Structure 1
Amino acid sequence: MGAEAGKQPHGAAVVADGFGLKGPRGWVFRDVSFRAGAGSLVAVEGPSGSGRTCLLLALTGRMRAKEGRAEIGGFPLPRKMAAVRRISALGQVPGVSELDPALTVGEHLHERALLQRRYDGSVRAFLQRPAERAAAARARIEEALEAAGLDLDALPKGTRTSVRDLERLEALRLTIALALIGRPRLLAVDDTDLKLSDAERTEVWALLRSVAGAGTTVLAVCAEAPADALRVTTVAGSARNTAEAESAQEVAEAESAGGTAGGTRTAGGAADAGRPAPTAPPAPAEETGGTRPARGNGTDGAAPSPAGEEHDDDTEEGAADALAETGRA
């Protein structure tokens, strides 16, 4: 694991072309098209209920799209959902990957390191002595904490600080650190700027820029994107909109049951000022260009397929099962 530990994560390029997801209450988002190079910072902005969270989950292989195509790090969606899940990681996504308020910061970090070693460890790592494995786990944790900008010594009780005692920004940094322990090629974070002051938002975007600058592609859901990010804008298109948290909760329930150039793209609803969305979407815009309208009713009621074995094929099995890795992060 020594040579592996020295490798810097290589970001996954993201391509979407007419990407759409339909749930029980209609289209969640539709006609999403954009391109982002490896190591890009992509901001998914829009009002709550416009399909932002579901788009995030679909692009990380956690929800199955119904039309169009996407490619993450060379893996096509929805055909290679399991492969995309292996190279991506979720930061905070309410109702899907949340911190456990009953645990301490240290317990969260230790648990994630154990899970990482159990499910993603190489054969060489299993052959290491216990002391060597522990040292490697500590190195991964320290690397992730540094990348997330979380200073454990600054917390009230250090690693023994309970999650419920963390400030909003500290909790966000912890979720990002937990995700980075796995050295993903794609990091996805929901509600990036929720309940943060202007100064804290500035800190968060600086953090995400540094993560992207280190080589990891970042997808971040937000209410308002910074000017230097590649923006994918979702627009509510129906009075039947529901909160994004409801959609994420449905994903979690399904799991429990079984299983850097600027630019703007618009997705998830009709065009502004009452103009209808285009019936035939234009070719995907490059990373530096244009506005892309898209259709949808903005409902976030889609739920993943029934759980099953995780494998790369064109069935819907495995989408909910994949969320097991995010049970507590």
Structure 2
Amino acid sequence: MAASAKVRLWMYQKMVTARLFEERLKLAYLEGKQPVFNMAKGPLPGEMHLASGQEPCAVGVCAHLRADDCVTAPHRAHHVAIAKNVDLRRMAAEIFGKATGLSGGRGGHMHLFDAAVNFSNSGIIAAGMGPAVGMALAAKLQGRDSIAISYIGEGAANQGAFHESLNLAAVWKAPVVFVIEDNAWGISVEKRESTAVERNSIRAQGYDMPGIFVPGNDADAVYEVAGAAIERARAGEGPTLIEIETHRLEGHFMGDAEKYRPPGEVARLQAIDPIPAYRQRLSASGVSAAELDAAETSARELVDDAIASARAAPTPIPADALTCVFI
């Protein structure tokens, strides 16, 4: 099923919101870290993984979801969180380590959790797959038609949790959709140097579930494939594995020198940036420049508000470090 004009404009706005949000995070992250890069300095110390270029993977799937559908995601997850309607103010505050954050500043950008829309992500590779299968099974046992989505990178397809989760999902006919964002790089290792098969989607055959590859980093194509997989899951027909060709415009983390990239690769990927390409496609389909500009303005206002709110938010009380922990 093709996306309606309204849904396509929603996808465009979400993609722009994700990109602008990460551009602002990038500026904040680099504060205090220049001219000599020191990961511990500035208002955002530690690692920072940006998803610029991978936005179609998020919107094409999440456009089909409800608040009661569960989503787990990996460390590079801002775009998915935004597409799943995670509270942007609280998410920004969490990333800035503020008391008003999703988890009071305890989790940071790799451990976001918003119970209101059933979203979570983890810095541990493939860690969200098992919980996604469990949440899908819970919905099935309770007689609900909600589903679970598990996002992973292509490197996670070589983890034991990947195979265990696919196997159990198939055995239980759990209403879960596994989404692989294949950006061709596992940190600094090319996929072809670490993975025995050309396409991870073919691994679905070993677990008796459909496996679909979506080329071109195309939001509309992702929407159509995801729609069929999600409809199948809601109907009680079991899991699906979707592999999406996508591109990472930034390094694995902020500060990554990216010496492993072949010469000219980044410039080539920037030339096929999915956001301006999608704007051109929408314009050619009859969406007015005024509508597209309004979507961009709305996205910028949301991001400006979230970042300003996060910077102004209070820092956690030191004693709170001893709360919300298991002993």
Q: Tell me which interval the TM-score lies in, with the shorter structure as reference length.
A: 0.3 to 0.5
Q: Which has the higher strand share?
A: 1
TM-score normalised by the chain length of structure 1: 0.32
TM-score normalised by the chain length of structure 2: 0.32
Q: Which has the higher helix share?
A: 2
